Amino acid sequence: FTGSAFGSAAIWQYESLKSRVQTYFEEARADWMDKMRPQKRGEFRKQVNSWWNNLTEGQRTVTGIIAANVFVFCLWRLPGMRRFMFTYFTSNPSSRALCSPMLLSTFSHFSLFHMAANMYVLWSFSSSIVSLLGCEQFIAVYLSAGVISTFVSYVAKMATGRFEPSLGA
C-alpha cells in the first residue's frame, strides 16, 4: 500500500506541476479576457472564496482530510450504519474484512474531543509539512502512516491475544 501511495503521489505531483505550467501560459494569454467577463455575484460566495484563498496550501490539503474525518464521525452516529461501520471502519485481526479497515479505520474517531484534538494538531502543522513535502507526498505519508499503524496494531493484538476492535490509526 505504501509503495502504491508514494508512486501515485509522484505521478500526481508530476501531473500537478505539468498542469500548473500549462495554466501559467494559458493565463498569460487569457488576462485580457478577465476584463470582458462579468463578475460573479453573491456575498457569501465571495466570503468563502476569500477564506479559501487566504489558506496556505497545507491548510487547503488538510481541509479535505478533516472533512473526511467529520463525515465518518457523523456516519458513526447513524444507527442504521453501525454494522457497516463496525465491519469496515474498525480494525480487528479476527474480522473477515482485514485490508480495507486498515485504511478506513484511520478516519474513525469515537469521541468528538478526540477527533477535534487530532484535527487541530493536523491543522497546526499542515502548513510546514506540506511546504516541506508537497501536498501529494503529505497525503501519501498520512495514508501510509494510518495503514502501517493499523498493521502494528494487528501485530500487537495477535501477540497479546486481544482481538477487540479498535478505531483510528
Q: Which three cell numbers stand for residue 26?
A: 494559458
Q: Which amino acid is at 28?
A: A
**42: enclosing H helix or E strand:** none
13, with CB counted inside 10 A (0-12, 13-18, 19+), is middle
Is there a contact between 154 and 103 (Cβ–Cβ < 8 Å)?
no
DSSP string, 101-119: HHHHGGG--SSHHHHHHHH
Matching residue, cell 474517531: 109
Is there a contact between 131 and 82 (Cβ–Cβ < 8 Å)?
no
pLDDT of residue 38: 58
pLDDT of residue 34: 59
- Full-model pTM: 0.76
pLDDT of residue 123: 92
Which residues neighbour 107 within 8 Å (Cβ) at sequence distance 6 or greater?
68, 69, 72, 89
Which residue ranges of the chain lie beneath pLDDT 70? 27-41, 169
Other CB atoms within a 10 A radius of the CB of residue 107 amount to: 20
**35: enclosing H helix or E strand:** none
What is the Rg, in whole angstroms, of the alpha carbon atoms belonging to the chain? 20
165 phi and psi, to 5 degrees?
Answer: -70, 155
- State the Cα torsion 141-144-150-152 to the nearest 10°: -90
pLDDT of residue 41: 66
